[in-house]
Each structure stands twice: as C-alpha cells, then as structure tokens.
Chains A and B, each alone.
Chain A
Amino acid sequence: MEFDLKTIEALAPDQASLSAASKLTKRSNWPRLEKNEQQALIWGECQGSGSNPYRVVVDTGDHGYKCTCPSRKFPCKHTLALMWIAATAPASFAAAESTPEWVNDWLGRRRRTTPPPAQSTPGAAAKSIDEATRTDESAAVEDLAAVERREAAQRKRAEDTRQAVSAALDELDQWIADQLRLGLSGFVAASSDRCRRIAARLVDMKATALAGRIDEIPSRLMALRSEERPDAAIRELGKLVLLAKAWRSAPDDPELKRLISTSETREQVLANPDARQVESFWEVLGEKIESRRDGLVSHSTWLLDLKSTTPQFAVLLDYFPASAGRRSNAFAPGDRFDARLVFYPSRKPLRALVAERMGEVMSGAWPDFTFDAAKDPLATHASHQDAAPWTTDCPLMLPAGAVLVDDRGTGWWQAADDPQGIALPIAGAVNQTLLGLDLTATAALWDGARLDLLAAQSGFGRLDLS
C-alpha cells in the first residue's frame, strides 16, 4: 500500500469530498475489501443507498481509479474512502489471488502512464484530511510552525500538480501526434470517442480545464459542414499544441493555468492587485448557454463597455450542473447597468467578475465606435490571436452591414460599404426578418469559422440575436 493521507488529500477535489469520504470509512460500509499486491490493486464494494453496492477499484501504483457511482466529482467519495482505509487500516483488505471480472474489465480499458507520484491543485490549500475529521472542539489556534507546515504542503502540492499536468501534456502531445498519424478524417469521424478518452486521462492528471475544452471539440466540429471539419480539426488541435507549449514555458502564468488545470476563485481574482478593473456603463449583449459533455452547463453573459470609444467586451462566466435545471438569469439581454468589473488576468482580458454594481442605466443606442481603418472586420480577432493564439472565441463589433443568404440557406454578414469584400458565415439558422434589416453595428463572437451573433443596432433599434 502506497497511500498516505497527504496523497489522498491532494487527490480530493474538495473539502466536502474528504468529509463525505471520512464518513464512509467504517468497515460496515464495505461488505467486500480485497487486494492483489502483485498487480498493485485494491478494490471493494461500498453499500450506498441503492440496492447494488458501488464497485471501486484503485491502482496503488499510479493512483488510477474507477467507481461505478454517478458522482461528477473525481475521485468520488467512495474512491477516497477506499484509499483512506488502505492508508489507515490496510489489514482490512483480504488478499485475493485473482481479480474479479469487473476489475479486469477496467484494467483492459485503461491506459497506463508514468505514475504521477502525487497530485494536488492550487486551490487544495482549503482542504485537508485533518479538516475532514476535525471536530469543532479540536480547532486549535495555528502557530507559526503550523503555518509553515501548511505553506510547505501547499508548495509541495503545487509542485505535484505541475508535475501531473506536465505528464498530462506529454500524453496530450502523443495523442495529437497519433491523430495526425492516423489521419484527421478518422479523427473527425470518431472525435467523440477519441476526445472522451484523452479528456478522461487529463482529468485523472489534473488538467481539468484542458479536458473540458477537448471534450467540446466534437460538438464544435459537428456544428460545421462536413467539408469544413478537417480544417477545424487542424485549428483545434494546433491551438492545443500552442497552449501546451505556452504552459511549459510559463507554468505559473495565471491565464495558462486557468486554461489547463483550474481557475482561480472569485476571492483570489478580487484580491489580485494585477487584475484589471474597469468602472463603466455596461450593456448585456446576450447570453450563451451550453450543455457540456462533462454534465455541466456553461452560462456566458457578454457585456459591452458603453463608455469606451473602441469596442470593449467582458464576459461573465458561470458553470452549474445540468441536473440543477435552468437557472434564472441575473441579467436579460439589453439590460444596462453601472458597475465595476474585475477581469481575470490574461493577455486579452475578457472574463470578468462584477465587483460592485452601482445601479441601472437608461437604454439607448450604442456609442459611435471607431472601426479598424483597414476595414478588416476580423482585425480584433487577429489581434487576439497574436497575443494568445490558443484562444478560440473572440468578440467582435462589426461595422455597418447586412445579413445575406447563400443557396444553402446559410446566413452571411457583409459590410454595407463593401459588397464585394469579405463576408463572414453565421452560425445556426438566421431569422428571416434579419435579412430585411440594415445593421448599423453588430456584436458577435467569431470562432475562426462562424459568427455567433449577440446583438445589433439597426434602423429598428436594438436587436437581440443571442
């Protein structure tokens, strides 16, 4: 058994999981606990609320694990509890010469990797097995030595996470090379399975955010016409290469850490003196609500800075479990308010938090923005790509234009004063009424292939398009 409590602490996704796991460590919860030392495996069956117990297996060599429970937390409380029993009461496990069929199935499906010795997350400071087991009475005043120990543990966990993520990116690199070798036509056809597998590995190895991004690649590809998908696959995979390289050169960069592993907490962003703060009037351009494959719903609210002379955007990003149902929205498209936003530090800050909201603002037209002198509607996108080439969606403010349709019914935005110039295809079905409106300015997201319209100003006033 190679578990110690620190390892389990580092693996736990949050303090609540540790607390829940501590309650499952009673022997009576586990009708079956077995081990096979030759294969470095422990497994058990934990009686939950259902008629069948959850089956849990852990590889003590590389800390890989599998549990049949439906939890969205990885590792789940059952896995943590099994590890916990292995660390504190190894005698509870009966030696087994052979492994059960379900353990064999799991072994057959998983890929072994260089075992990360221990893993942790930057936010792990808030959780510890001590905390999970500590009663209120045992809360002691921290002394300097304890603070030092905790900071040392944090450093250790950060280092462990870095190593785990580094190993994850090695796997990602190899996976990308495999896709190129096997052919992108096959990748496009089987992107769902292939992305799911590597994403699961990346979650195991603490590259959670990156895993979420890869999980969304299939749906991004499927949203395009079949002839466009290979190019989109090149763009998606190429950006992953760039992101991995950028992280290796600056693993402590907050933007890159956010895109690869985990995001800062709200408190950390608000307390960050380097975080850009903008107090202005903001208009809610629109919302994008997407169900992700990892069971979460991402809710983006796009804002426009009404005091800026050039188009400046912000996005408020929220995630919640799909099982929680649709949440009521804090803002409706078209709302205007006076607020101080704090932006997550990055090369082109977009994601923000509302730090302080001062009140409502009267509705009206957008400011007369200055547009790119070269009349390139994608100039902002190019600028974003120069600064952060791994980014995908870029908000744009398009000058006066109109929406046209091609023979297949796809909508295209085209500048009003440049009918022979560049036209940008629009994602999704276009409302036929939009074809009869003059657009004096249009806010949209560009993902390299399609415009996702948010809102526009027209001769008929504001248009909600999200």
Chain B
Amino acid sequence: MNEGEQTGLATMRDCWITGGATFDLAPTAWKTIAGGASPDEQERRLLAIAAQALDVALRPAAPKTLKRRPLLPKLALPMLPERLRPLLRAALKHAIDARRKTRVVTLVASRGFVLHPMDWMPAASDQNSPDVYAPWIDWQASVDGERRAPQERLTAENWDEFYPAARRIVLADMRHSEPASARMLIEAKASGEPAEVRLALVELMRFGLGAEDAPFLKSLSADRSGKVRELADRLLARLGEYGRSNDGGPDDPAAELAAFISEGKSGFIRRRNIYTPAKLKSPAQEPRRAELFEICNLGDLAARFDTTESEFLGAWQFGADNNADILIARMVAASGSDAAVTHMADALVADGGKPALFALHLTPRLDGRRKRTLVRLILKQANYLGAINLAEGLDAGWVAWDDLSNGSALSALRSAVAGNDEAMRRGADDILETIGFLATATTAVKLIDEVVAAGMPPAAPSLGLLRLNAALAEHQPRTDT
C-alpha cells in the first residue's frame, strides 16, 4: 500500500467512524474499482478494499517500550518426563492449597525431578519449596528484569543487589552452614530494612539457633516493631533466656496465664506436682487464655511454678482440657528449648493414645526421626488417622507397606472407602493424598490396588498423588526404599 492509499484509508476511516460517504475521499485506484455503481454499492466496495488493506497491508505497530524478562534459569535437576506431566497436573489440580501443592512438588523433587515451569512456578515469597527451585524464586523476585541476583557470595556490600527473597534463600542457607556469618550480616543490615523484611530476616535465626545468637537477639528488645520484639523473645526463650521483661507483678502475662493453671499433688507415696488447666469461668476467658499462651514463653510460665520447662511439661495433665493441651503444645513449639520439645514429643509418643496427637504441633521443631516415629504411631493406631494431615515438614516417600498394613490404618481406609458415610469418604480422600506424599512407590502401587478393590473408582482424583508417586518409580526405581 503506497503513501497516498494510506492517507486515503485514514481519511475514509475517520469518515466511516462518524458516518457518511467516503467515495470522494478514496484513493484514485480504489475509486476506479468502486465506481460505476450505486452510492451504497460504492461504499461497500471501498469497505471491502479497506478491510483487506487493514488485514494484509498494514501491520501492527509495536510500542517501543516492550520489555523483555531475563531467561528463566535451568534448574539443577532434570525436568519431569513429558508423559508424567498429565499425572502431575492432575495431582496439582487436586491439591487445593499452596501447602498441598508444595507437597506434590517436594515429592517430585525427592525422586530427582523438577516441574515444568508452565505447570507450576514458586511465588517470590515461597519459603517452603525444595531448595532446587531457589533460582526460580530469584527469577520471580526480579520483577523488572533489570537487577539480577548476583552469583557471588552475599556480603554487606552487595546486600542491596539482592532482592529480599534471594537474600532470604541465601541467608537461610548460610544459617545452616555458617550461622555466625549469617547472623552478622543480619545484624549489620536488618535495622535498615522495613519491619516486614526485618521480621523475615530475624525469623531466619531459627535455623542453627545457638547461644552465641543471644546477644543479638537481646539487642532486638529495643526494636521499633512489636512483632520483631516478640519473635526475638521467643527465640531467646528457646535458648533458655527468658524472664527479662517480666516483673512478676499482676500485669505480667505469665502471672495471668499461671492463674489459668491449677497446681496440685499426685501419688500416695511419692508426692509430686501436677499442673491441670483450671476450669474456665466464662466463654470470654477462652480467647484471653489462648492469647496469653501465644504471647508468653514456656520458660516464663514454668518459672512461675518454680520448676524447669521439662518438669513442668512432665507434670502437665494431658487430656483434661483439649484446647489447653493444643495451646501448650503450640507454646512449646514456639518458645520451648530443644530439650523441652524433644522431651514432650517423646513422652507423648511413648504414652500413645490421643495425647500423642498433640505432638503433631511440635513437628516444625522435630527432627526427621521423631517425625517418622510419630507418623508410624498414627498409622498404627488409626483412631485419629486424619490427624496425619496436621504434621508439617515431613520428608517424602518413606512410608513402607508394613507401616500401613501392620496397623489398622489400611483397614480403616478400606472401610471408609467402601462405606456410605460421605464425611468418612472425604476424610479418606485427604488421608490418601497425604499418604500419596509419604509413601514409597511400592506402597503407593499396593495402596491404589487396595482402595480400588474396596470400591474407589480407579480414576478418583484423590488417588492422583499416589498414581504420580507410583509412576515416578518407573524412572527412579532405586529411590524406592
């Protein structure tokens, strides 16, 4: 299309937009084609020519401000084989929240694969995905594509060249390998960051937390953010450093919380202290008690009763008040010393029964061995099988067939699947999804067979993760333990 035609087309277009005849405005060559007809027909012919000119001769003009993002980095593990992607997408689709999706991702990573970026992509704020995805989290964080996380080591000098998410990943890694260096970096740079970022940085101190971190954490008692001060207090409490801010007076939260707990004696020959949740006088006391459990430290509470953390927990009467039991378990997870956490977990698991389930709230602080013991206990008892979904930070792919078949878990699942109780079936769906993450590939295959034989449709979405688990073994048979 020549310049004259382009000008003519533009004029005709303006005329048509407002309405009217354009024949006189048309380029000469177009007039020749359109001429010799009724006025309406002339306009239609010109319209046809204009349509083709717009369609073929004119090309879209791209703005000069088109932005290109850096290429997505390749990850250290191979991509999930193409033929497994439909299974993966089905499992991801069935995983209703980010936590469950992370489990799918973690299972795949445990078998030595990463996901296709169009199937799943971690968020810039993701803190739970396997480490292999760190380059993608960095990529997500570099929103404008101009700055990139440098490959060199994080230092105080290049601190600003890292995005918060990238820094978080690097610092978390450093806290595992060289905690002192990471602490010094956080100490040097955190004060210049906004409260939200500061909180996230201090939260990293939980990795490799040790006595040498105490001075820095104590210095945070003057932090501008209340949340940062509370977090630092809890971390200090885990180190046995508590009671600094409590005056023991009537306004002391630990004293207020202690009033919710009755101290008594037990045993005829060897009298020993016991601690029982006091009966609440009004429903309004319930939220206040919950709030106090959240803001107080275990050490401060134990000190109110002149006892140690472990002794206090040993004397706590589990089973008297379900809510209080959950609250104290969360308190221990947040502020208990490592010794208190393991003591409580071991004692609960050893006792078995329903109280053992309170140990689930401790899973973020438990080592892999204790987590596995806890899960095996739940599978064996099967009375509270659904509680398995509460466990956090579990490793993927280790539940063996014996773990399932020796207890009552398998028969409970079979009955739920075969029965007519809709709530039981939904519960079974959730458990199957969790076991899909925990199971070895062999277990996954056998479990699918069992529940299908019990009446579950073979294509049921709740079997998605089990199917993916089983299929992954075809590529990585040696990972099956």
- Stretch of A34-42, A160-168, A316-324, A421-429 contacting B (4+ beta carbons < 8 Å): A421-429
B39 nearest CB neighbor, chain A only: A177
Say yes or no: B62 contacts A422, CB within 8 Å. Answer: yes
A216 within 8 Å of B by Cβ?
no
CB distance from A283 to the nearest CB of B (A): 12
CB distance from B473 to the nearest CB of A (A): 20
Q: Given A183-B19, A184-B17, A239-B51, answer yes or no on A460-B79 (Cβ-Cβ < 8 Å).
A: yes
Say yes or no: A461 contacts B82, CB within 8 Å. Answer: yes
What CA separation (Å) do A41 and B25 show in the bound complex? 48
7 A–B pairs (Cβ distance < 8 Å), ordered by A: A173-B44, A234-B54, A235-B51, A241-B44, A412-B66, A422-B59, A436-B72
What CA separation (Å) do A128 and B65 show in the bound complex? 64
What CA separation (Å) do A436 and B116 show in the bound complex? 13
Say yes or no: B44 contacts A181, CB within 8 Å. Answer: no
Say yes or no: A180 contacts B19, CB within 8 Å. Answer: yes
B127-142 contacts to A, CB under 8 A, are: 139
Name the contact of A448 in the complex, choosing from B40, B55, B117, B139 (C-beta under 8 A): B55
B50-73 vs A, Cβ < 8 Å mask (1 yes, 0 no): 111011100110110111111110
Cβ–Cβ < 8 Å partners of A462 in chain B: 82
The size bracket of the interface on A is: 35 or more
Question: How many chain B residues touch A (Cβ–Cβ < 8 Å)?
Answer: 45
A433 within 8 Å of B by Cβ?
yes
B384 within 8 Å of A by Cβ?
no
A232 nearest CB neighbor, chain B only: B54
Q: Given A181-B19, A183-B16, A183-B17, answer yes or no on A460-B117 (Cβ-Cβ < 8 Å).
A: yes
Cβ–Cβ < 8 Å partners of A438 in chain B: 71
Say yes or no: A177 contacts B71, CB within 8 Å. Answer: no
B74 nearest CB neighbor, chain A only: A459
Hey, which bits of chain A sit against chain B, CB under 8 A?
A: 173-174, 176-177, 180-186, 230-231, 234-239, 241-242, 245, 332, 334, 363, 378, 381-382, 385, 389, 402, 404-407, 412, 414, 422-425, 431-438, 448-449, 459-464
B118 within 8 Å of A by Cβ?
yes
Hey, which bits of chain B sit against chain A, CB under 8 A?
A: 13, 16-22, 40-41, 43-45, 47-52, 54-56, 59-60, 62-63, 65-72, 74, 79, 82-83, 85-86, 116-118, 121, 139
Q: Given A234-B47, A461-B116, answer yes or no on A423-B62 (Cβ-Cβ < 8 Å).
A: yes
Which 9 residue pairs spanning A and B have beta carbons closest together?
A238-B51, A183-B19, A423-B62, A436-B72, A177-B40, A404-B66, A435-B69, A241-B48, A238-B47
Cβ–Cβ < 8 Å partners of B62 in chain A: 406, 412, 414, 422-423, 425
Cβ–Cβ < 8 Å partners of A231 in chain B: 13, 54
Name the contact of B47 in the complex, choosing from A237, A334, A405, A461 (C-beta under 8 A): A237
Cβ–Cβ < 8 Å partners of A181 in chain B: 19-21, 43
Say yes or no: A460 contacts B18, CB within 8 Å. Answer: no
Cβ–Cβ < 8 Å partners of A242 in chain B: 48, 51-52
Say yes or no: A406 contacts B66, CB within 8 Å. Answer: yes
Cβ–Cβ < 8 Å partners of B54 in chain A: 231, 234-235, 238, 448
What CA separation (Å) do A236 and B52 show in the bound complex? 10
Name the contact of B79 in the complex, choosing from A174, A433, A461 (C-beta under 8 A): A461
CB distance from A358 to the nearest CB of B (A): 20
